[in-house]
Amino acid sequence: MDEAELDREVRVAIARAIRERGVIPRVADVAAELGLQSSSISASFARMADGHVFIARKGSHEIYAYDPFCADPTDFLVRAGGREWWAICGWDALGIPPALGTTGTVEARCGDCEEPIHIDVGLAGTTTTSSGAVLQVGLPAREFWTVM
């Protein structure tokens, strides 16, 4: 198996862990699942982090955010597919239900007044909310494109 084939297998294993078990796997989890050495999987994780497939934890190749899914609790809580998830920003929060192919809800707080915001996310990118919620993007796209 060459590097490209391995990276694809690893990426599919990561996606399967998220979809079927609701977890963002670590290098050791993927190595055990695929029956491969951790060093091979760690190298694959490193390549994918360099290629912006996911955001790695600082000083590590482990996954911090396999966008739109974040491994750690954040201010953006999403309920979808019978599970709770976290996202690193509003864009990602709205992307979790579609990534799972289901409906969901987003619970966040207004960046200005910190009042709660509740958004129902339907299929095909539809949403409903009790307020006139908006998303503010703080940098021009060309400045964050490389990590999108």
Partner 1 sequence: MLLFRSEEHARRWRERRRLTDTDILTLRQAAALAHAWYQRKLSADWRRHTVDEAEALFTELGLDPEFWRLH
Binding site for partner 1 (CB under 8 A): 8, 11-12, 15, 18-19, 51-53, 66-68, 76, 89-96, 98-101, 106, 108-113, 115, 117, 119, 121, 124-127, 129, 131-142, 145, 148
**Between the CA of residue 18 and those of 11, 36, 73, 103, 122, what are the distances in Å?**
11, 20, 15, 16, 20
Residue 13 φ then ψ, to 5°: -65, -40
Name the residue nearer to partner 1 (CB basis): 59 or 138: 138
Strands 127-129 and 104-109: unpaired
Least distance (Å) between residue 92 CB and partner 1: 7
Name the residue nearer to partner 1 (CB basis): 39 or 131: 131
**Number of CB atoms found within 10 A of residue 28's CB:** 12
Least distance (Å) between residue 87 CB and partner 1: 10
DSSP string across 69-84: EESS--SEEEEETTEE
Name the residue nearer to partner 1 (CB basis): 59 or 143: 143
Name the residue nearer to partner 1 (CB basis): 28 or 110: 110
